[in-house]
Amino acid sequence: MERALDSQVAQAVDAWLRWLPRWQPATHRGRSAPCRRCFGSPVLSAAGVGSDVPHGVQHGLSTRMKKIVDLAVAEYTARNLPLLQLELDQQAARNQARSYRPGEDLAPEYEGLPLDPDPVPGAPFLFTIEGLASEADAEVPSLPPLSDEAKEALRREVGLADEYANLVGREICSLLLGHRLRIQAAIVEFVEPQVEAMLAELTRSLDTPFGPDDFLPGPGKTA
């Protein structure tokens, strides 16, 4: 497993490094809640990506590593956990029956992010992507209920899958240590200059809250 993971981690880091020069600071209002995938992530810590690095940069890397874990767990489940595999197959078929699936086939930089911005008090949205997706989900029949015995057996298999995911995650963290230098060098080259420029622009706007045209005489004004 280690050799296969080594290759997958290296390829994922390479893909992230190819994407990073295209990153730009977000100009829209972000979500206030921290990202559950990135906040306190041991994967990002192993990669040397600190909490002061913009979330968009973090998310692209953590999602690529999550895909590796998901693939390994899927293969393990198919080989060893028949009840869980059956449940996943049924859920996948149900998902495919939905007419609207906005969270699928997204680039790693966007996968797992909220589909809608935070609501503004007193200014409700006419509609939300989450709301439309929920409506589409409600149109698809639910899966048949499980017996208590089946629930308990499924719970045991889910626990085994979680244990394997943690095992793979720890191995990925170990492998990422070998990529820290090039990850950090790329952040210094492509991310930090943009952050510094944004902070400099913010400082200038705070130091000079009015533009030069604000002081020019206009109609009805005297110099």
pTM: 0.85
Residue-by-residue pLDDT tens, the chain, 223 positions: 667 999 999 999 999 999 999 999 877 666 678 899 999 999 999 999 999 999 999 999 999 999 999 999 999 999 999 999 999 999 999 999 999 999 999 999 999 999 888 888 888 889 999 999 999 999 999 999 999 999 999 999 999 999 999 999 999 999 999 999 999 999 999 999 999 988 888 788 777 655 556 555 555 555 4
**Can you read off the two tokens belonging to residue 107?**
């680039």
Residue 130: name the closest of 106, 119, 114, 118 by CA: 114
**Residue 62 CB partners (closer than 8 Å, separation 6+):** 37, 38, 41, 43, 44
